[in-house]
Amino acid sequence: MFEWIKHGKIFDPRDYPGRWWLHEFAQAPATLILPDVVRVYFSCRPAPDPQGSYVSHTAFVDLDRHDLRKIVRLADEPILPLGTRGTFDEFGVYPVSVIAREDRLYAYYGGWTRCESIPFTVSVGIAQSLDGGVTFERLGPGPLITSDVHEPFVISGPKIRHFNGQWHLWYVAGTKWHRIDGRVEAVYKIRHAVSDDGLAWQRDHRDLLPDVLEADECQASPDVIEWGGRYHMFFCFKHSVNFRDNARGYRIGYAWSEDLVHWHRDDSMAGLNFSEEGWDSESAGYPHVFELDGQLHMLYIGNQFGRHGFGLATARSPSP
């Protein structure tokens, strides 16, 4: 079982006024390890428009590598502008997962657009950076992975990894939309794809994890690390309805695998639960686990889907 020491919330967008794109939210934190800092990409929102609709941007904060609770830099602007009119990412770039390859960085991201009969749909895009991850540019205006005959709905939440000479992408795929009390909600499950070059992907088209809450359990943010001779997946899951601002929202789950294909779910091993009070007393989600100098750390969001920032926890011992 993993055990985590919580360090509390370490970034709150309300502490940095004056940036039009950073009104609130700091969602889906994900790291890029640099020599002197740990860069954390996160998704945020400006104030809503007059109709109450939001857009999502992605930016970063740099944490002191020797004290991850210390912020040494906040991005001056989002890493990638929103897509042009009619493109798949016109209304949002969220979430983002960054990986180094040769002389550049690649960002795999969820691109959002608004819809008529449902609130939104999402596809996965790709962008590259030539300046060390400060800014990115799209490889093209369209999505890299989008709905197909087997996965007709939302495709989002990409997490890119490279294991044993092959590229792996964990993501979530929508399985249905349902209307409850006049509100349309998505159901989504964790899926997996592999690639030899990071561009052409072969999808498994199957759910990786069994449900524990209900048949329409929503699963998100699959984050996989290799540690101690085994693959570990941290993710979050919630009820499909009545999950806002209460304990039916996201909590952190766990599964392990020896081959990246067959996963054994045991949420009791995740080790990070709600706090008795404060910013993560009702929800904990979008875990990102990373190794730094032999120590495991986790970034995660709390109540209200990360409206007021993300926090940090450290594994109690160097190994699980």
Q: Are 266 and 300 in contact (CB under 8 A)?
A: no
* Nearest residue to 78 via CA among 145, 31, 26, 153: 26
In percent, the amount of the chain with pLDDT more than 90 equals: 92
Query: What distance in Å separates the CA atoms of residue 267 and residue 283, rounded to the nearest whole number?
Result: 15
pLDDT band at 248 (very low <50, low <70, confident <90, very high): confident
Amino acid identity of residue 264, one-letter, is: H
Query: What distance in Å separates the CA atoms of residue 192 and residue 30, rounded to the nearest whole number?
Result: 18
**Which tokens go with 318?**
């160097």
Residue 6 belongs to a domain: no
CB atoms within 10 A of CB 299: 26
pLDDT at residue 182 tops 90: no
Rounded mean pLDDT of the chain?
95
pLDDT band at 242 (very low <50, low <70, confident <90, very high): confident
Q: What is the pLDDT of residues 140-164, one digit of tens each?
A: 999 999 999 999 999 999 999 999 9
Average pLDDT score over residue span 26-54: 96
222: CATH: 2.115.10.20
Residue 1 belongs to a domain: no
**Confidence (pLDDT) at 1:** 86
Residue 13 belongs to a domain: no
- Count of domains for the chain: 1
In percent, the amount of the chain with pLDDT more than 70 equals: 98
Q: Are 303 and 5 in contact (CB under 8 A)?
A: no
pLDDT at residue 318 tops 60: no
Q: What is the pLDDT of residues 255-314, one digit of tens each?
A: 999 999 999 999 999 999 999 999 999 999 999 999 999 999 999 999 999 999 999 999
pLDDT at residue 66 tops 70: yes
Residue 179 belongs to a domain: yes
Owning domain of residue 287: 22-311
Residue 234 belongs to a domain: yes
DSSP 267: G
Residue 219 belongs to a domain: yes
Residue 318 belongs to a domain: no
DSSP 145: B
**Confidence (pLDDT) at 320:** 52
- Give first-to-last CA distance, the chain, whole Å: 7
Residue 125 belongs to a domain: yes
Q: Are 230 and 257 in contact (CB under 8 A)?
A: yes
